[in-house]
Amino acid sequence: LYSSSSLIIVWPFYLFHLLATLFFTSFYFRSHRPTAAQRELVASICRFHRKIKGATIDVWWLYDDGGLTLLVPHLLTLPKSYLENARLRVFTVSTSPTLMEQEQRSMAALLTKFRIDFSDVSVIPDLGRKPNSQTIEAFTELIKPFICEDDNVRPGMITRSELEAQKHRTNRHLRCSELLHELSYKSDLIVLTLPVPRFGFVSSCLYMAWLDMMTRDLPPTLMIRGNQTSVLTFYS
């Protein structure tokens, strides 16, 4: 191993290999100083290796999937998890604006029967409301490279007729994205029910665009969808 001012002879070979690795690694980091964005990325990758005190987990239970979306975040609050003793906030969707208070009490009672500790239950009343124009513009810009005409259909691409047919679901997912950014942007983990597309009715590009809009610029987000099999003891 040689530098301009020194000559090091190492034996056996594995020690030479080790010192060479350390030398070139040190040289690389001295000559390639990481940017602020790179340092932030490294810190975010390592965040799951350190326990977070006073953490908050937000659970968005948008569909009944057998309880898996509730069970996993509960397990993450148990000892030896990096989110041990985290606060659990549960968000669910209202079926009727006039029944919000009743639905909130019912959800709280359900969680108690499941023996799931929670700090708050919120019922979202306006998931069906039209998203803001800025959100629609961002989505339109996102899918622009993946749109094709109806007379030139390509596998996985988004046709204009599909976009019109799925307009209601698109608006729902975009509105959900707005609520996630409004209510959960400070949480340490978001657990979200994964939307499941109907095979043959939703293209892969449109589906991935939905997921992208729902998770971009958010804290770590875990999307889960059970198979309708009950995983909570209350159901058994």
- Is residue 76 pLDDT above 60, yes or no? yes
Residues 24 and 115 in one domain: no
SS3 assignment, position 124: strand
Domain assignment present for 57: yes
- Is residue 7 pLDDT above 60, yes or no? no
Domain assignment present for 132: yes
Domain assignment present for 180: yes
One-character DSSP codes across 135-187: HHHHHHHHHGGGEE-TTS--TTPEEHHHHHHTHHHHHHHHHHHHHHHHHSTT-
Residue range 165-209, pLDDT digits in tens: 999 999 999 999 999 999 999 999 999 998 887 777 899 999 999
Residues 84 and 113 in one domain: yes
Domain assignment present for 22: yes
pTM check: above 0.85: no
One-character DSSP codes across 50-111: S--TT-EEEEEE-S-SSSHHHHHHHHHTSTTSTTTT-EEEEEEE-S-GGGHHHHHHHHHHHH
Residues 125 and 19 in one domain: no
What domain range is 149 assigned to?
Answer: 52-224
Residues 153 and 213 in one domain: yes
What was the pLDDT predicted at 22? 59
Residue range 83-110, pLDDT digits in tens: 999 999 999 888 777 778 888 888 888 8
Domain assignment present for 42: no
